[in-house]
Structure 1
């Protein structure tokens, strides 16, 4: 299964040439991860950080850009998990419109203790939340 959401490309997302500016795309990818936590996993970033005392910081990020987007475009985003390790996961976030890929991000996130700022093992309860989005799990 994959998490899906839509995002409007706003004036603030564009560079002076009127196309989506790549640093804003990275921010949009982070928004999609935050939306996935809340709407897909059932735990908001606030709850993850303040109640569970966990974070999912990016430790590696790779972006590829296929086609430009312009102010007013609506992008369809998908998120799926490519790999779940002991304390990290590889996520793929794709954005498209008009049946064409606009950009793709592959990011490694680590499960981090907000108290020690060190990686922690992904326990069975969290693994159960993540697994439906794992590509190898039939999603």
Structure 2
């Protein structure tokens, strides 16, 4: 079941023509990931970064922009887990306005130790939430 959240297109997201400036989409996507970690995975970014000294930087990102989004519109973002590796997590995020697709983004996150920068295996407490979203998508990485 995908994680779904709404985001209103604000002035801060737009270029002078009133459409979302593409780098702002990446900020919106990151906010969706951050909310998913807090609300579904049960580990907010404060806990990850400050308390645990771990992080989930993006290792790869591929995005297709289907149509422009405009100031004042509300976008529905959906996040699904595509696959889970030992240290990585492949996600697909989509944004729609009503029935119209606006973007599709495939990204890979890696759990790292913030002090060493080295990858870490996903803790079972997190991994169990990934499996719920993607029972057939496990990999051995």
Equivalent residue, structure 2, for 1:90: 90
Equivalent residue, structure 2, for 1:115: 115
1:38-81 superposed Cα distances (whole Å, 9 cap, x missing partner): 11112210011112222110011111000111000000011011
Distance (Å, rounded) in 2 between the aligned partners of 1:102 and 1:135: 27
Distance (Å, rounded) in 2 between the aligned partners of 1:125 and 1:43: 9
Equivalent residue, structure 1, for 2:67: 67
1:71-106 superposed Cα distances (whole Å, 9 cap, x missing partner): 000000110110101110111111101111111111
Aligned residue-pair number: 137
Query: How far off is 1:129 after superposition?
Result: 2.2
Equivalent residue, structure 2, for 1:77: 77
Equivalent residue, structure 2, for 1:130: 130
Gaps of 5+ in 1: none
Distance (Å, rounded) in 2 between the aligned partners of 1:76 and 1:115: 35
Per the alignment, do residues 135 and 74 of structure 1 end up closer, same or farther by CA in structure 2, a change over 3 Å counting?
A: farther
Query: How far off is 1:117 after superposition?
Result: 1.1
Task: Please identify, of 63-72 and 111-120, the stretch whose mean Cα deviation from structure 2 is larger.
Answer: 111-120
Contact 2:41 2:126 survives alignment (8 Å): no
Please give the secondary structure, in 2, of the residue aligned with 1:136.
coil
TM-score of the superposed pair, with normalisation by structure 2: 0.91
Please give the secondary structure, in 1, of the residue aligned with 2:128.
helix
